Structure 1
Amino acid sequence: MNITAGMALKLIPEKLQTQPVFLCIDDTMVSKFGKKFEDVSKLFDHAAHNGSNYLNGHCFVSVMLCVPVWDKNRIHYLSVPLGYRMWQKKESKLDLAASMVRQAMPELRTKRNVIILCDSWYVKKNLVSIVDEYENLDLIGNARSDSVIYGLPPQRTGKRGRPALHGKKLSIQNDFTLPDEKTGDYYMAVRRVLTNIFGKRTVLAYVTSADKAEGSRRLFFSTVFPEQLQIFCAWQEKSPLNQTGSSRMQFIPLMLYVFRWPIEVSYYEQKTFWSLCSYMVRSRRGIEMLVNLINISYCAMKLLPYQDEAFFKYQTQSVQEFRFALSEQIRQQVFYAIFVEKVETHIKSNAIIKALKQLIQQQGYHL
């Protein structure tokens, strides 16, 4: 896990060293028909399409690291899954995710801004409290719309009595005024608040809606403030982050939440093309080792085009396309190597050997 993180961090160009890096946290489920797998259980899956919201299988918590790299004079964030941990009932997914973040943080200690991105399941005390353990760690996450939030405490009046710990209770429907103009695809409002989840820490609360009049509203929290970020908005690949003007600077932390989506893409790719769900090992240790071995192979295909100039053209292509191209070249190399060995053993023809060696060198050059 830390080795993969270290390799990804080395890809950050010198001019982008001050840009934030992201740790995306999420979990995915793997359905299994057998009941003899260790720690297999009945799981609730809100995205299941099998006629029931429950499935028999395993749940894996994972962490993904997103680092900035150049892509045609634009800043592109390369997403690299660091590892998987199987969830067991004796330990909550929040504690499991927190332990994975703690394991990765030593590699990220030199970065100015490390930001955790997570959905509403993980915006709870067990996980968000970890941001107080590291000076360079913050969190941006979607929260339940019914989360209790308060305004900032009023100024002290000098009168007798205990000062208020917080202001009045706020409602995302009535206390956040949406502007007349959309930012990207949503109307956005923001204010500084206090909430039970973050204790005494002041955070930014963002409320968004696709329809100002009748649309449902979503709530996001951010422990990082715009003035704490040094981000090159104009060079960003993604919109509307690259369209941010001075009037929209306050919404930059919320716009960074878009970098959480690649973890969903990696789940789809690994399940569909990398046989992540096809394991037949029964023990928990064996399953974790196999799943992480698949993940290491997946990460290698993502990192190699940025490490070796021979594979530079595959940076903008999918991991699956690069894997296919690489496997084809390996297959050809193995075929020619075996053919040369047979020729040397049986024919002993110097002319044929010389021609085949030249062909192998040419194939290696064009790889």
Structure 2
Amino acid sequence: MNVTARLSLKLAPADLKSQPLFLCIDDTMVSKSGKKFEDVSKLFDHAAHNGSNYLNGHCFVSLMLCVPVWNRNRISYLAVPLGYRMWQKKESKLELASAMVRQVMPEFHAQKNIIILCDSWYVKQNLVSIVDEYENLDLIGNARADSVLYDLPPAPTGKKGRPAKHGRRLSIDSDFTLSGEKAGDYYTGCRRVLTNIFGAREVMAYVTCTGKENGTRRLFFSTIFPAQLQIFCAWQEKAPLNQTGSGWMPYIPLFLYSFRWNIEVSYYEQKSFWSLCAYMVRSRRGIEMLVNLINISYCAMKLLPYMEEALSQYRNSSVQEFRFALSEQIRRQIFYVNLVQHVETHIKSMAVIKALRRLCLGETA
């Protein structure tokens, strides 16, 4: 993981070094029909489409790094999955994710802002407490809508007794004023709060809703405040981050949460086109090594177009398209070399060699 993170950091141009980096955390499940795989178990999958919410298989926790790069005069974030760890029941997924973050954080000691992006499963004390261990680490995450929120403590009155640790309890339905217009697909409200998850630390709470008066409300937390961010909004590739005016500045941490979707795209691509689920190895160690080997190959296809200028034309292509193009070139090179060796041995014909060069390499006469 550390080597991949180190290579990815080198891709960020000097003028984008001040931009925040994102560490996306999530887990994915791999269904297995066999029962002789090590650590295989019955897992709950809320997204299962097999008629049951349970499947027999493995669960992998993964970590993804998003680094800023220039793409057609816009700032785009290159999403690079750093690695997978198989979940075992002897430790929680939160502990596993925390260990992965601690492993790669030494690579980011020179960065100003590293932001963890995660869904509501990971916004719990076992993981969020890690942001207190590093000065440059923060977290933006979706949270359960029934999370306990408190207003900030009132000013000291000078009276006897211990000062209040927090204010009154808040409700996401009545204590958040939604914006007058939508940002993207949602009306949004925000305020500073205290919550049991983060202890005495003040955080920004965001509430989104599809409708002004009714609709399902979602809750998000951010340990980083808008004033602490240095991000070039006008140069961003995607909306609504690139459309923010001064009135939308308080909502920038919420807009950054959209980068978490990159890890879902990575899961889809690796499962559909890279045979991530097709392993037949039975031991846990063997499975982890094979899954991470597939991930390294996937990362190589992500990084190469940015590391080699000759391959820059594939920066906007999918990983699968670049893999196919690269494999085609390798096949043609092998075909060309084998034929030329045969021709030189038996025919010694320069005319045939030139014809093969034009055919395989596109050289002009």
What's the TM-score once normalised by structure 1's chain length?
A: 0.96
1:355 aligns with 2:354: yes
C-alpha distance in 1, partners of 2:50/2:205?
36
SS in 1 for 2:131: helix
Shift of 1:341: 2.2
Change over 3 Å in CA distance of 1:108–1:353 after alignment to 2: farther
SS in 2 for 1:338: helix
Q: Which amino acid aligns with 2:350?
A: A
Q: Give 1:88-237 correspondences, 5 Å limit.
A: 88-237=88-237
Task: Confirm or deny: 8 A CA contact 1:140 1:254 kept in the other structure.
Answer: yes
Cα deviations by residue, 1:128-167 (Å, 9 ceiling, x for unpaired)? 0000000000000000000011110111011100111111
C-alpha distance in 1, partners of 2:295/2:345?
40
Shift of 1:174: 1.1
Shift of 1:277: 0.3
Cα deviations by residue, 1:195-226 (Å, 9 ceiling, x for unpaired)? 11111100000000011211010000000000
C-alpha distance in 1, partners of 2:212/2:55?
37
Partner of 2:78: 78
Partner of 1:328: 328
Q: Which amino acid aligns with 1:207?
A: V
Q: Which amino acid aligns with 1:351?
A: M
1:282 aligns with 2:282: yes
Partner of 1:33: 33
Cα deviations by residue, 1:85-141 (Å, 9 ceiling, x for unpaired)? 000000100000000001111111111100000000000000000000000000000
Shift of 1:346: 3.1
Task: Confirm or deny: 8 A CA contact 1:31 1:58 kept in the other structure.
Answer: yes
Cα deviations by residue, 1:160-191 (Å, 9 ceiling, x for unpaired)? 00111111111101111213221221111111
Task: Confirm or deny: 8 A CA contact 1:131 1:138 kept in the other structure.
Answer: yes
SS in 2 for 1:197: coil
C-alpha distance in 1, partners of 2:359/2:315?
25
What's the TM-score once normalised by structure 2's chain length?
A: 0.97
Task: Confirm or deny: 8 A CA contact 1:340 1:356 kept in the other structure.
Answer: no
Partner of 1:339: 339
C-alpha distance in 1, partners of 2:192/2:170?
11
C-alpha distance in 2, partners of 1:138/1:146?
22
Q: Which amino acid aligns with 2:196?
A: N
SS in 2 for 1:261: helix
SS in 2 for 1:152: coil
Identity across matched positions, percent: 73
Cα deviations by residue, 1:306-355 (Å, 9 ceiling, x for unpaired)? 111111110001000000010011011111111122223333x0525753
Q: Which amino acid aligns with 1:328?
A: E
C-alpha distance in 2, partners of 1:24/1:142?
12
SS in 2 for 1:264: helix
1:4 aligns with 2:4: yes
C-alpha distance in 1, partners of 2:60/2:352?
51
C-alpha distance in 1, partners of 2:340/2:283?
43
Q: Give 1:307-318 correspondences, 5 Å limit.
A: 307-318=307-318
Task: Confirm or deny: 8 A CA contact 1:333 1:360 kept in the other structure.
Answer: no
Q: Which amino acid aligns with 2:306?
A: Y
Task: Confirm or deny: 8 A CA contact 1:336 1:360 kept in the other structure.
Answer: no
SS in 1 for 2:197: helix
Cα deviations by residue, 1:235-274 (Å, 9 ceiling, x for unpaired)? 0011011111111100000000000001000000000000
Q: Which amino acid aligns with 2:299?
A: C
- Structure 2 runs not aligned, ≥5 long: none
Shift of 1:360: 8.9
* Structure 1 stretch displaced more, 333-342 or 122-131: 333-342
Q: Which amino acid aligns with 2:247?
A: S
Task: Confirm or deny: 8 A CA contact 2:21 2:66 kept in the other structure.
Answer: yes
Aligned residues: 364
